[in-house]
Structure 1
Amino acid sequence: MPKPLLTVWYNTRCPVCDAGINHQKRRLIEAVKAGSVEFRDINFEPEALSAFGASLEDVRRRLHATDTSGRLLAGADVAIAVWRITPGGGWLASLFGNPIALPLTRFAYDRFADVLYAWNRRNGHW
């Protein structure tokens, strides 16, 4: 099987993250079946991204992904990469990933991720 275009690492123990990724999986069903995108639970492979310096807690805090060139993406950059390959999602990638909007997109994503991470810790979603 060819290497996926994108391998997305996420926390299935977070109900919000899990629901969001399940929604994306359904939208990308053909790409998942073809192996061009892969979604993986960091809880089963907590050291998977250690070579990049990303810990289990980093992935629990924000989405992470690797692309075919071996680059590590994190946070909003992962969402934008997923939107780019999602049928009908290119406009979201263009809107939120353009050079003018990207800093604000990253800031908003990071603040939301911080709140969600704190909520997950408080509610024992580990």
Structure 2
Amino acid sequence: MMPPHLTVYYNTRCPVCDAGIDWQRNKLLALVRAGTVEFRDINEQPDALARLGVTLDDVRRRLHATDEGGRLIVGADVAIALWRLTPGEGWLAALFGNRVAVPVTRFAYDWFADVLFAWNRWSGRW
């Protein structure tokens, strides 16, 4: 069975985001080469998700992705989807993405994303 297609939009101007996605992309190299997973810099395509009501700052604040059906995935749910696809990281998806833990995972992700977004704005990274 083929894994689902996932297109991840992220902010390369954030050093933490860029390094994290670079690390994840290297772990998913076979899926990236097969076209199953794509990583796109939102700064190169600022209106890429406008049709879904997503702004440039939305993506600079949190990871966004679209699945094979064009459905939007946001924040911690993107990380969980990537962990499910990444060899050896399924346990992270099971631990942080189960129905009991996912509300806490989303809260922690959103808190960290908000702090990181504020830091990047303060640092003048856009």
| TM-score scaled by length of structure 1 | 0.96
Deviations, residues 60-107 of structure 1 (Å, cap 9, x unaligned): 000000000111000000000000000011100010000000000000
**Equivalent in the alignment of 2:80:** 80
Name the SS of the counterpart of 1:69 in structure 2. Answer: coil
Instruction: Give, in whole Å, the separation in 1 of the partners of 2:119 and 2:86.
Output: 28
Instruction: Give, in whole Å, the separation in 1 of the partners of 2:106 and 2:12.
Output: 22
Unpaired runs of at least 5, structure 2 = none
Aligned residues: 123
Instruction: Give, in whole Å, the separation in 2 of the partners of 1:49 and 1:89.
Output: 28
CA RMSD, 1 decimal: 0.8
**Equivalent in the alignment of 1:89:** 89
Name the SS of the counterpart of 2:87 in structure 1. Answer: coil
Deviation at 1:115, TM superposition (A): 0.2
**What is the percentage of aligned positions where both structures have the same residue?**
69
Deviations, residues 44-71 of structure 1 (Å, cap 9, x unaligned): 1100001111000000000000000111
Instruction: Give, in whole Å, the separation in 1 of the partners of 2:32 and 2:84.
Output: 15
Q: Where does 1:15-54 land on structure 2 (aligned, <5 Å)? A: 15-54=15-54
Instruction: Give, in whole Å, the separation in 2 of the partners of 1:90 and 1:125.
Output: 33
Unpaired runs of at least 5, structure 1 = none
Instruction: Give, in whole Å, the separation in 2 of the partners of 1:25 and 1:56.
Output: 22
Instruction: Give, in whole Å, the separation in 2 of the partners of 1:52 and 1:92.
Output: 28
Instruction: Give, in whole Å, the separation in 1 of the partners of 2:102 and 2:39.
Output: 24
**Equivalent in the alignment of 2:105:** 105
